[in-house]
Amino acid sequence: MKKKIAVIGTGYVGLVTGVALSDIGHQVYCLDVDPNKIDKLNQGISPIYEPGLEDLIHKNMYADRLHFTTEHSMAFKDADAIYIAVGTPERADGSANLDFVQQVAKDIAANVSDRGAVVVTKSTVPVGTNKLVKHWITDALDRDVQIEVVSNPEFLREGSAVYDTYHGDRIVIGAETEAAADLIEAINKPFGVPVFRTDIESAEMIKYASNAFLAAKISFINEIGTICGKLGANIEDVAKGMGMDKRIGDKFLNAGIGYGGSCFPKDTKALVQIAGDVNHTFDLLESVINVNNKQQQIPVDIAQMVVRGGLAGKKVAMLGLAFKPNTDDMRESASIVLAQKLTELGANISAYDPIAIENAKRLLPETVHYAANTEEALQDADVAIIVTEWDEFKDLPLTVFEKQMKQPIVIDGRNCYPLSYVETANIDYHSIGRPSVIRAKKSNQPAK
């Protein structure tokens, strides 16, 4: 059952959703108010870095199933489903800003076909928003049009979003009527992903609760890692032993310098605010957020302890700037906090990332130098901090640190290397929740 679908917003969620829906055979019109972005997309150029996405754009544009436009009338004409995938940025109090969603609702009312449509909310929105969307649309309509609103939250991981679309754990559909749910289930059937149907409010909460739980696992293992570091235990062994318990599982038990990106930080704060709106203090989640904020400071604390004479005037190589590998997204990246702290301490930063440098330039201090490659970033550095676990860094021979750096001191914020491998190299190595490996100890010689 092939349908005409409009997708409003061409960010990470909207673009991947629209492209994937066209790839399974639907006629898709992706709408955005930014003409420059639409111009690039019409040339087959993706505004975001997501593995495999640009190839799918080319494929489905060539097949005449995928279209990009700034014209609401073109996108909405005879559309069976209209997907809302615009941003819901965080307000100062942690709540979600729904201004873009409300504007889209007004645009739908002004341009939807007389035969009506099912409006599908992909944007992450607080519980109750979908019913607000229906109210906003119907209130703005100047004619009798049948509108249904469905909550269909996304569970895509940046850097793996295309893969996740075709191999997801579930598709959640929250609807008021069986007919609306049936349509959205039929649209998604070619993906072959299990469907879970529920009411609208539960679907909205599933998104927040899922992200908050995963964030809690990350903060928990990071707290255990801090304790391991003080007791001489190895967090990797602890996590492996924990993960073998099927009740716990081994996912999201990798100690590091915290989570970032567009989802976990924003959604955890929003859920705290949602709880506050119903007079509930979410103590657990507030602690999760506090732990994550502290975690991003750890590499700077280590650097201050291990670099003799302090960091003022010292060269610090930052390897990785994006919040995670395989994306150019800098939102809430640990690199932002690290660069600010290191700059305040007088360090000279040389940074490198395979993809995210252009986005980083808008967020990091102006004094940061951006290197063309790993070797340049490390050249004559006093200390190196691995911020993002790109394969390029994980596969880097440790001899590169020895050869390029003034002092081969490596602070690994993502535990990229097995300690057994580090012990074969002539470097000082500090990681998260694992014993440090020091040159002087390996050679039984005092440190110079």
Q: 93 a known binding residue?
A: no
Q: 37 a known binding residue?
A: yes
Q: 319 a known binding residue?
A: no
Q: 88 a known binding residue?
A: yes
Q: Is 47 exposed, middle or buried (0-12, 13-18, 19+ CB in 10 A)?
A: middle
Other beta carbons within 10 Å of 119: 25
Q: How big is the chain, counted in residues?
A: 448
Q: 165 a known binding residue?
A: no
Q: 76 a known binding residue?
A: no
Tokens 């960010």, residue located: 11
Cα separation, 320 vs 313, whole angstroms: 21
Q: 188 a known binding residue?
A: no
Q: What are phi and psi of 383, to 5 degrees?
A: -160, 145
Q: 183 a known binding residue?
A: no
Cα separation, 357 vs 328, whole angstroms: 8
Other beta carbons within 10 Å of 36: 9
What residues act catalytically? 263
- Strands (E) in 122-238, as ranges, are 147-151, 171-174, 195-198
* 3 state SS of 380: coil
Question: What's the helix, strand, coil split of the chain in %, to 5?
Answer: 45, 15, 40
Q: 199 a known binding residue?
A: no
Q: 389 a known binding residue?
A: no
Q: 315 a known binding residue?
A: no
Q: 100 a known binding residue?
A: no
Q: 375 a known binding residue?
A: no
Cα separation, 35 vs 38, whole angstroms: 5
Q: 271 a known binding residue?
A: no
* 3 state SS of 241: helix
Q: 157 a known binding residue?
A: yes
Other beta carbons within 10 Å of 284: 11
Q: 342 a known binding residue?
A: no
How does strand 4-8 pair with strand 81-84?
parallel
- Strands (E) in 289-382, as ranges, are 315-319, 348-352, 369-370
Residues belonging to the binding site for NAD(+) are 32, 37, 88, 124, 158, 266, 331
Residues belonging to the binding site for substrate are 155-158, 207, 252-256, 260, 324
Residues belonging to the binding site are 32, 37, 88, 124, 155-158, 207, 252-256, 260, 266, 324, 331
